[in-house]
Amino acid sequence: MTSIPAPQSRLIPLLRQIGGTVVTLFVTFLGLLMVTFFISNVIPVDPVLSILGERATEAQMAEARERLGLNEPLWKQFGIYVGNTLQGDLGTSIRTREPVLEEVSQRFPATLELATLATILGVLLGVPAGVIAATKPGSFFDQSTRLIGLMGYSMPVFWLGLMGLLLFYGQLEWVGGPGRLDAGYQMSLDFELTQYTGMILLDTALNNRWDMFANAFSHIILPAGILAYISMAYISRMTRSFMMNELGQEYITTARVKGMPERRVIWVHALKNVMVPLITVIALSYAYLLEGAVLTETIFAWPGLGSYITDALMVADMPAVLGGTVVVGIAYIGLNMLSDLLYRLVDPRARV
């Protein structure tokens, strides 16, 4: 007679997994803060001089160093930095004199919206393309998919952006231009729209402003499409590789011998077993788009986090640069945690 595990015996491994995850996240976050703190100390930019300007007296500079804790030992400065970050204090922008966290919270939704739409499009196109290419190796579709993927890796994103603007906006007028909205809608954005998330597509839908939704969609579809193309190239290539390896397994051969429909063999059994590594690929692609959309945001005048960090870097606004970097790092950590949770949902073996 099979004994049923006691609830306590099942609870202890679960608590260990949760504790291990929490410790891993904390150590990763601490490592992120160590890297950003190290960067802030090795870059030859005097934060006091940047804040007060060149006309500040020695007494003013000494008082500012004392107030900022720059006269303390490095280990104590790092402790102050960690404590401030945990309290949500990412410093004050030298350029605007505004809290970095407030500015980042205003910019991040634009990047999140752009990267999310691009990832969705990349997954919807890349996964089926990779699966079909794996089932027909050497075919015209397989060769075309690999060629399209290679072009996605090879062509610079700024060139794609400029060519896209020239063709689809300048010549064909199929899409909106740079920015998130036309000037008329942009002026009325703060007065006529209740902003729940900062993501215009979602906020306009929640406000039933479908005219503004259509205008926002016409502006986002081109930059999102370009990023989706890059994401699709990566996802389709990895999906093809995973599927070709899975289709050579014995259980696939057994299912075919038993007369199981080919569509079910491929799209249910084989695809289900490649979902765990595929989740990692999608999460990495998403994180790359959150962090690596700088050129796209610059070309399309997209007021997101990438362009914010780039503008701050141009004027040596290090609190803004480091604050934006910390937020991007937190996004990476969050996506890794989400991937781990999805593993457990997709693969029962990961729950043990």
Higher pLDDT, 36 or 206: 206
Higher pLDDT, 16 or 2: 16
Domain ranges of the chain: 14-86, 104-351
Q: How many CA atoms lie within 13 A of 7 on its CB side?
A: 0
Mean pLDDT value across residues 240-250? 88
* H-state helical runs in 43-99: 47-52, 58-68, 74-86
Query: Tell me, what's the pLDDT at 125?
Result: 93
By the 8 A CB rule, do 28 and 72 touch?
no
The residues near 330 (Cβ < 8 Å, ≥ 6 apart) are 29, 32
Mean of the per-residue pLDDT values of the chain: 82
Query: Tell me, what's the pLDDT at 1?
Result: 46
Query: Tell me, what's the pLDDT at 46?
Result: 66
By the 8 A CB rule, do 324 and 314 touch?
no
Query: Tell me, what's the pLDDT at 70?
Result: 67
Mean pLDDT value across residues 171-195? 83
Q: Which DSSP string corresponds to 32-59?
A: HHHHHHHHHHHSS--HHHHHH-TT--HH
Mean pLDDT value across residues 114-140? 92
Query: Tell me, what's the pLDDT at 319?
Result: 82
Domain over 104-351 is classified CATH 1.10.287.1120: no
With both helix axes pointing from N to C terminus, report the angle between 210-247 and 275-292 in degrees, rounded to the nearest 10: 140
CA 25 – CA 23 distance, rounded (Å): 5
CA 348 – CA 352 distance, rounded (Å): 7
Say what percent of the chain tops pLDDT 90: 18
Q: What is the DSSP letter of 351?
A: G
Can you list the positions of beta strands (E) in 267-319?
none
Can you list the positions of beta strands (E) in 238-283?
none
CA 28 – CA 47 distance, rounded (Å): 27
* 42-75: pLDDT as tens digits: 776 666 666 666 677 777 777 777 776 666 777 7
CA 79 – CA 97 distance, rounded (Å): 24
